[in-house]
Amino acid sequence: MGKEMRHILIATYLIICTLTLNVSALDPQFLNVPEGFKLEVFAQDLDQPRQMAEGENGTIFIGERSGQIIALIDSDKNGQADEKRLIAEKLTASSGVSMYEGDLYFSEISKIWKIEDVERWVRQNNSGVPKKILVTDNLPDDAWHGWKWLQHDLKGDLYTNVGAPCNICLSENPQYASILKFTGETWEHVARGVRNSVGFDFHPVTQKLYFTDNGRDWLGDDSPSCELNRVDAEGLFYGFPFQHAVDIKDPEFGDISSGYDYVNPILELGAHVAPTGITFYNASQFPAVYQNNLFITLHGSWNRSEKVGYKVLRVILDKGGDVIASEDFITGWLQGQTVLGRPSAPLVISDGSMLISDDKANVIYRLSYTQ
């Protein structure tokens, strides 16, 4: 390669990098949304935002992977946060947040904490951070697949995930590769054989739990698929590490008799797309056709020869909660093979709009319907 050509390639690379940084951090117009919808930046200059939860007074709480929990306030109700408050800090792999009866619950790898009446503390404009109370430290401390998602059911029981501490393995600890339900300090299995779920939500009508699962690596570009699953009865087994997706036998563990009947996913999402957050739409701002639809953020692949994911998926269900169809809902974070952002989690908030966190561009988008 000649000297002149090398200079041209370097200059082109620098231009692409500059455009990528400018676009991803400042302007959501590169993203594609359905007709009638508008996407704006709700908050920026964050630090790897993941799961979000809304308080009764409209405060948005975010788990940041950097080790912080923050609160965002849109005081003038113009669709953009104008105040940021630090709620907790120096956490190990913080990510999950959930609100229940005015209390904020948030996660580390091996612990779950809560702050009582958290919005009162925010309103009082206190300095420092509020007092946190330990809910449980009865969780494994492995970093691999250690990020926790949190969700309460209507009764106040708290659900969280414990990923497998590996790409593919068997573990003697019964908490691994599962979704757990905590009633106080007592836990029980909701779903077993779940490799790495980092997103689940309850159907607004049936109250059944739907959850995503990230498929194992190093079986090729196109196998096995990541999954959307449904809990029809607590304690069922979803295949890992013996079986993946629909009837894909693991080459290492597939011939071992597990003693379980395997539950197949209700939808295959594609290999390596990395589903993270998940939410049902049960508000009134979007057109009625979106009611009780499921939205999944696909965080995007990291080890596939050609990148996939990096979008928000819409899943259409019938009245009984079975999948009718799925389709791309928001795209554009992946331009060719250039990654402009990584959608992490969706949240439907009280005004009927949807927030979407992006832990690469360090922003939160707000999607509203304007027609």
Distance CA(213)–CA(268), nearest Å, equals 10
pLDDT at 15: 38
pLDDT at 2: 52
Q: Classify residue 85 by burial, with Cβ atoms within 10 Å: 0-12, 13-18, 19+.
A: middle
- Listed by start position, the domains of the chain span 31-45+151-369
Distance CA(86)–CA(114), nearest Å, equals 15
Structure-token pair, residue 203 = 């159907």
Asked if 190 and 227 count as a contact pair (C-beta separation under 8 A), the reply is no
Nearest to 142 by CA among 113, 112, 175, 183: 175
pLDDT at 73: 97
31-45+151-369 CATH pick, 2.170.130.10, 1.10.10.10, 1.10.1660.10, 2.120.10.30: 2.120.10.30
pLDDT at 185: 83
Q: Could you list the pLDDT tens digit for every one of the 371 residues in the chain?
A: 554 544 444 444 433 443 343 444 457 889 999 999 999 999 999 999 999 999 999 999 999 999 999 999 999 999 999 999 999 999 999 999 999 999 999 999 999 999 999 999 999 977 899 999 999 999 999 999 999 999 999 999 999 999 999 999 999 999 999 999 999 889 999 999 999 999 999 999 999 999 999 999 999 999 999 999 999 999 999 999 999 999 899 999 999 988 999 999 999 999 999 999 999 999 999 999 999 999 999 999 998 999 999 999 999 999 999 999 999 999 999 999 999 999 999 999 999 999 999 999 999 999 999 98
Distance CA(247)–CA(329), nearest Å, equals 28
